[in-house]
Structure 1
């Protein structure tokens, strides 16, 4: 049973959240943005008007989320008053309301950590197995399932952009589009190398094997971000696709791979590729592949800016997407260990079923 001091602390947290989120200033900003809508030439500059509409929607979403927290806090206060005035035993109702309030507060507190320039965007997530053949390919497919389950838990829309099956089991590569508010902000915590330790189902001697797979997450760009890639620098490759193509599957070259060769802002020459196989036509696959290609180049440019910023600020901590971030041990004991935050969870199955909230929260709060 939740105690009186715990309830008081929870209500204080709910109240303090209004100041932390700067609700008053957000309300003033919404009012100012709404006043722009009244201008007769508001839609003359469609791009500026759309940016204004997005800003209004974003601020209103924060205000609505805080309003829900405040209303739940008021409900808890009312239940406590009724319990005291009428001597009713409302302990179960009070505890249930407090638990709901705590979940809302924690969710909003976590979301408030997502203040990066691209945190609000959709995400593109790619998975590639490390060396080890079938073992690593099977592990990569397990990760694909894990992230699909996580996205579904969060209410995100998930679609496969590209998928290459392994010869025996698992996958050689996969790309996912994860669409939803702050999808990139949450999933960016997952970029890095993931390590699996288990008794191999592919080893007739039942020996313990270690497998690796890399996960890379980057924001999906939209029309608000300009990435100028010269057509002359992009190589188009087409191939037979195993996607949705219906009668066209394995008959027409509907799969598309785009390869851009060029220099980044720091002068580094790079070769970036993106492919899509899941749409019904070559044109649709080409459009999706171009979005993926631009998103990857954009993320590379971001990494350059972040590295320069870290150098300027003399930060010891560097962003390194190639580092091992988490180990998943199935045998001889069960443990998922995040090496960045030192968070350890023994319920491996729940993690593999997409329960990544604790890991993502620990990463964002560190």
Structure 2
């Protein structure tokens, strides 16, 4: 039924676009006959809007992977650099949350570890919506920020790093068997907001898959049992994502990109000082409005990286000084 609904939506969209294109062409022809520039401009504007919609829907056809339709987890980790990187990690988390909200997706905070002075050391978001994983699957990697530090009394420019890791939420169609003997389960007290209960109850759960070293943690529920169930689902999702990477023969490349959160491993640079620019180092796509990007306007970068992944890797682009 889900597949049928999706196909019906696509077909109805094609029919609607064809009708609106015919209407726009007719409007332009009418304006030319009557020599009415206003009508011509209106028709041309309608065609440009249709062109943008067609481009977006063309990218959606690239989302045909095995788990592309699923919800997704987005895991954020701060890099070396203490407070600077931890603040950048929080900004990165907000960027993906805002992107999800702009898409009309539901965004849930699964786990968050606060930084020592500001920001976060790590956090996990669950973004729920059709094709959420498909849209975000190329966002895994290291993100670099250059700005005047708000934590530096001398107002010096700092470079900070944080990483994002995206993997799909597993649904009932996919079976992943995990031996409990291969896992270590730890409970601990949650951090952050939550009142007296947080401070007195070991409700947070961390599961470590010993053969792979993969760790899944959850602390957003007051119930240890609910946190345990969520952590198991996250672990299954991580193992499934690992298997997907192996099928694509890209496991080694992924491991290399995540081996160090620092120089030489970044996928995108966000420069706020001395100029303003966001540049994707894989596709060369740029934006001169970094604050809009940090507010969730990621689609041009996502669409380009998806197209490059399907049609071939883009030429290597040099880093920003």
- Same fold per superposition (TM over 0.5): yes
**Counterpart selection for 1:163 from 104, 112, 137:** 112
TM-score, normalised by the number of residues in structure 2: 0.86
TM-score (norm 1): 0.76
* CA deviation after TM superposition for structure 1 residue 233, in Å: 2.1
Residue matched to 2:4: 56
Deviation for aligned residue 1:321: 3.7
Give the Cα separation in 2 of the matches to 1:116 and 1:352. 27
CA contact 2:28–2:44 (8 Å) conserved in 1:
no
Aligned pair partner of 1:365 in 297, 303, 307: 307
Tell me the number of residue pairs that the alignment of Structure 1 and Structure 2 aligns. Answer: 300
| 1:90 partner SS | helix
CA contact (8 A) 2:114 2:191 kept: no
Say if 2:47 is the partner of 1:105: no
Deviates more, 1:114-123 or 1:83-92: 83-92
- RMSD over aligned CA atoms reads 2.2
Query: Which position in structure 2 is the counterpart of 1:209?
Result: 158
In structure 2, the partner of 1:260 is 209
Aligned to 1:74: 22
Given that 1:149 and 1:354 are in contact with CA atoms closer than 8 Å, whether structure 2 keeps it comes out as yes
Q: Is the 8 A contact 1:132 1:211 kept in 2?
A: yes
Contact 1:245/1:281, CA 8 A, preserved across alignment: no
Which shows bigger deviation, 119-128 or 249-258? 249-258
Give deviations 1:59-113, integer Å, cap 9, x for gaps.
2232233233223223323423543566655124313322321222111111112
Compare CA radii of gyration and give the structure with the larger one: 1
Residue 294 of structure 1: SS of its match in structure 2?
Answer: helix
Higher relative contact order (CA 8 A, sep 6+): 2
In structure 1, the residue corresponding to 2:172 is in which secondary structure?
A: coil
Q: 1:340 aligns with which of 262, 279, 282?
A: 282
Q: Select the residue among 178, 181, 184 that pairs with 2:127.
A: 178
- In the alignment, is the contact (CA less than 8 A) between 1:129 and 1:140 conserved in 2? yes
Q: Secondary structure at the match of 1:205?
A: coil
Q: Name the CA shift for 1:245/1:138 in 2 (closer, same or farther; >3 Å).
A: closer
Match of 1:351 among 293, 296, 319: 293
Partner of 2:91: 142
- Matched-pair contact (CA < 8 Å) for 1:75–1:97: no
Is 2:43 aligned against 1:94? yes
Superposed counterparts of 1:283-302, under 5 Å: 283-302=225-244
Match of 2:314 in 1: none
